[in-house]
Amino acid sequence: MKIGFIGLGNMGGPMAANLAKAGHEVVGFDMADVAIEGVSNAASGAEAAKGADVVITMLPNGAILRAVADEIIPAMGAGAAFVDCSTVDVDSARAVAEQAVAAGLLAVDAPVSGGVGGAAAGTLTFMAGGTPEAFAKAEPLFEIMGQKAVHCGASGAGQAAKICNNMILGVTMIATCEAFALADKLGLDRQKMFDVVSTSSGYSWTMNAYCPAPGVGPQSPADNDYRPGFAAELMLKDLRLSQQAAESADADTPMGELARDLYARFVDEENGLGMDFSAMLPRFSARSRG
C-alpha cells in the first residue's frame, strides 16, 4: 500500500518505520524535522495524504486531530482509509470519523497500548472503532505494527476501550504503590510482599508485569530510576479523558476521578513530570497519613 503517516514522534516514528520495513511505501509528515528509516518526508500533511491508500495519524490531542483532519481529508481519494491511532476524546474521534465518511472515506479510530517499546518491537495492541469494511482495510497494517487488533465496535469504540483500560491501569497502579508503601511501614520485605501478592488475589498487571518496586519482579522503569516507559503526564492525560467521557455519559467513576486528581497533583505539584507513572511508589513512601 501507499501510506501517509502524520505524527512521527516517539510512537509514530517506529510505527511508520515498521510499515516501511514490511515493504509499504510510506510518506511521512511531522512538525518537527525528523528522519525515519525507509520513510520519505512530505512538506505537509496534505502532501503526505495525497494518493495514499491509508493515512495514519498519531497526534497529541483531539484539537490537533480535528485540525489535521480538516487539512488532509480534502486531499484524500474516495475509498481511502483514515486511521487515527492517537488517544483523544471520544467526541473528537466520532466527529473526525463522520467528517471522513461524509467525504467518501473509510474511518477507523485505533488507539494503541504497549508504549514506545511496543511501537519499536511491533507488539502494540490496537483497539479499533469503525465499520467492518474500514477495519478490514486497516487490519493488515495493524498486524505489522502490533500483535493484536480488536474491532471494538462503531466509530469511537476504540477510544472508549482505551480510556476504560487506562482508567483501570491508573487506579490499579495507585493501589499497588499504596500497598508497597504500607508494607514498608509494617516492616514487610518488598520481595516477600511480591511473592505473596503476585500469586494471590492481589495479582495485577501493575504488580506482576510492571512492578513499581525496584529490584522486585521483572525489569521495569522502577529499575531505571523511574525513567518513563509510560510517563505520568500521559497517564494523567488518559485519566482526564476518562473523566471527560464519564461526565458526557453521566457515569459514576469515583475511583477514576480520584486517580485523576492524584496524578494531577503528582505531575503538577510534586515533581512527577517526566517520571514513569509507577513513580507513585516513592511518592507514597515519602508521605505520612496526614
Q: Exactly one of 2, 50, 148, 162 is catalytic; which is it?
A: 162
Give the cell for residue 125. Answer: 495492541
Integer CA distances (angstroms), 222 to 56, 132, 210, 213, in order: 33, 40, 8, 6
**Dihedral angle computed from the Cα positions of residues 109, 112, 116 and 121, in that order, rounded to the nearest 10 degrees:** -110
Q: Which residues contact 4 (CB under 8 A, 6 or more apart)?
A: 26, 27, 28, 29, 42, 45, 48, 49, 50, 52, 54, 55, 56, 72
**Distance separating alpha carbons of residues 212 and 170, to the nearest angstrom:** 13
Task: Write out the E strands in the chain.
Answer: 2-6, 25-29, 39-41, 54-57, 81-84, 106-109, 112-113, 124-130, 146-153
Q: Is 103 helix (H, G, I), strand (E, B) or coil?
A: coil
Q: Which residues contact 84 (CB under 8 A, 6 or more apart)?
A: 56, 57, 59, 65, 93, 96, 107, 108, 109, 110
Asked if residues 141 and 115 have their Cβ atoms less than 8 Å apart, the reply is no
- Quick check: is 162 catalytic? yes
Q: Which residues contact 154 (CB under 8 A, 6 or more apart)?
A: 129, 130, 131
Beta-carbon-side half-sphere exposure of residue 285 (alpha carbons within 13 Å): 15
Catalytic (active-site) positions: 162
